[in-house]
């Protein structure tokens, strides 16, 4: 294996090996009875320090990749290599795995919920579509993204229409609490 893989190459290599080596391998937490969520895939981290931090927290298959080409740093943004074992375990318990095309959320579903614009009918969509989409994505733990990427990302992370409706309910509650500062 080369010392530096792109994220795509690393994921492709992992996908090829999953069926024969690590799929379904149980995660064991140090100092516990060994019960925990099953590791259905591999935890992918960027850098050896990140790998060591994750391995201190859980016993699970970890793949280290080099993402130097896409690396960025924001002041105050500290990586997982500085996180404690408890914080890493909590983050892993709350994460959603990425499974391409696991459910089928369509653009029409999102247009009905006023989360994406209909390019043929620009007057049909409210002027706050981007804000609603941003807040729904925040609630679901996704980053801010354009509407054309939203159906694929929601499907890839296994979100269903009920998850979207729950997030929209949360957005509606937030707007009722403080409608002026929200917009």
Instruction: List phi, psi (to 5°) of 38.
Output: -70, 140
Q: Give how far Cα 159 sits from Cα of 7, 34, 117, 163, Å.
A: 23, 29, 20, 6
The interaxial angle of helices 85-94 and 48-57, nearest 10 deg, is 90
Query: What confidence score (pLDDT) does residue 64 get?
Result: 74
pLDDT band at 58 (very low <50, low <70, confident <90, very high): confident
Positions of E strands within the chain: 25-26, 38-39, 43-46, 62-65
Q: Token pair of 88, please?
A: 């890493």
Size of the chain in residues: 183
Question: Would you say residue 30 has pLDDT above 60?
Answer: no
pLDDT, greater one: 7 or 149: 149
Domain ranges of the chain: 7-94, 107-182
Q: Please write down the long-range contacts of 109-112, taking CB distance under 8 Å and 24 or more positions apart.
A: 109/151, 109/161, 109/164, 110/147, 110/150, 110/151, 110/164
- The structure's pTM equals 0.52
Question: Would you say residue 182 has pLDDT above 50?
Answer: no
Q: What is the mean pLDDT of residues 51-55?
A: 85
Q: Is 178 helix (H, G, I), strand (E, B) or coil?
A: coil
pLDDT band at 46 (very low <50, low <70, confident <90, very high): confident
- Mean pLDDT estimate for the chain: 70
Q: What's the per-residue H, E or C state across 44-88?
A: EEECHHHHHHHHHHCECCEEEECCHHHCCCCCCCCCHHHCCHHHH
CB within 8 Å of 57: residues ≥ 6 apart: 30, 85, 86, 88, 89, 92
Q: What is the mean pLDDT of residues 42-58?
A: 81
76-93 pLDDT, tens digit each: 666 777 788 888 888 777
Question: Alpha-carbon Rg of the chain, whole angstroms?
Answer: 19
Q: Token pair of 61, please?
A: 């298959």
d(CA 79, CA 67): 14
Question: Would you say residue 167 has pLDDT above 90?
Answer: yes
pLDDT band at 8 (very low <50, low <70, confident <90, very high): very low
Question: Would you say residue 156 has pLDDT above 60?
Answer: yes
């Amino acid at each position: 294996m080369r010392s530096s893989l792109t994220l795509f190459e690393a994921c492709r290599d992992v996908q090829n090996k999953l069926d024969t080596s690590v799929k379904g391998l149980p995660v064991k937490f140090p100092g516990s009875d060994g019960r925990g969520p099953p590791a259905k895939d591999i935890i992918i981290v960027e850098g050896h320090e990140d790998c060591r931090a994750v391995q201190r927290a859980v016993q699970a298959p970890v793949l280290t990749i080099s993402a130097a080409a896409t690396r960025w740093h924001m002041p105050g943004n500290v990586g997982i290599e500085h996180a404690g074992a408890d914080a890493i375990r909590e983050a892993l318990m709350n994460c959603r795995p990425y499974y391409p095309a696991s459910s089928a959320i369509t653009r029409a579903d999102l247009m009905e919920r006023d989360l994406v614009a209909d390019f043929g009918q620009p007057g049909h969509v409210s002027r706050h579509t981007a804000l609603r989409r941003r807040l729904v994505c925040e609630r679901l733990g996704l980053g801010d993204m354009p509407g054309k990427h939203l159906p694929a990302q929601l499907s890839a992370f296994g979100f269903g229409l009920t998850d979207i409706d729950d997030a929209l309910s949360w957005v509606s509650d937030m707007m009722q609490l403080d409608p002026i500062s929200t917009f």
